[in-house]
Amino acid sequence: MTETPQQQFHRVRYHVLREAMKRSIRGFVLVRVLVNLWLMLRTRSIIHPLARIDWNVTIGRRCFIGKATIDTLGGNGRIEIGDGSIIYSECDLMCHHWSRIVIGRDVLFTRKASAITGGHKFADRDATIISQGIATADIVVEDDCWIGYRATLLPGVRVGKGTVVAAGAVVTKDLPPMVVAGGVPAKVIRQR
């Protein structure tokens, strides 16, 4: 008995999904744990076995990285994390093509904090947002900063040395050194 085109489609779809699941489970469980172990030994850092760390990431010595996502989104972006920095669980550092995230020494990213170097363009009303591409810009966090719970750093910002970014703040412009900033968008609240 021959299969109908619809039955063939379902059989092929099932096979592709099953193979994709097998590959992802195999890669996730074995490769990710081994890569993170190798990074731990090389940098003398503590890295969660299930942290998602991309290949374009440079990690300094004595860092702590929880179950975070540190990803260059498959492009030529670079992420650099300085010595002694802490990236807690559920943080997202997303670096788009041809951009960088530079994190200085002794920086603290609290849980669910994020840094994103790109965003979709949307100026042309006649074109779809997806077709307009992505605008990217570097993010720099200088030494001894504290990025609070659920704070977000947007493309093109520089956080000055010793600055504290309050919980839930959205940083859209550069912040000077040694200040406390908060709000949406983030503004300087006081000197530190």
Active-site positions read 120
The answer for 30, left when phi > 0, alpha when psi is -120 to 50, beta otherwise, is: alpha
CA distance 51 to 90: 9
Distances (CA, A) of 60 to 46, 56, 65, 90, 96: 11, 13, 11, 20, 21
Which amino acid type is present at position 32? R
Which amino acid type is present at position 52? R
Any residues with CB less than 8 A from the CB of 25 and at least 6 apart, and which?
Answer: none
| CB 21 within 8 Å of CB 13 | no
Q: Using CA of residue 167, residue 173, residue 175, residue 180, what is the dihedral sign?
A: negative
- Tokens, residue 43: 């940098």
Which amino acid type is present at position 156? G
| CB 171 within 8 Å of CB 160 | no
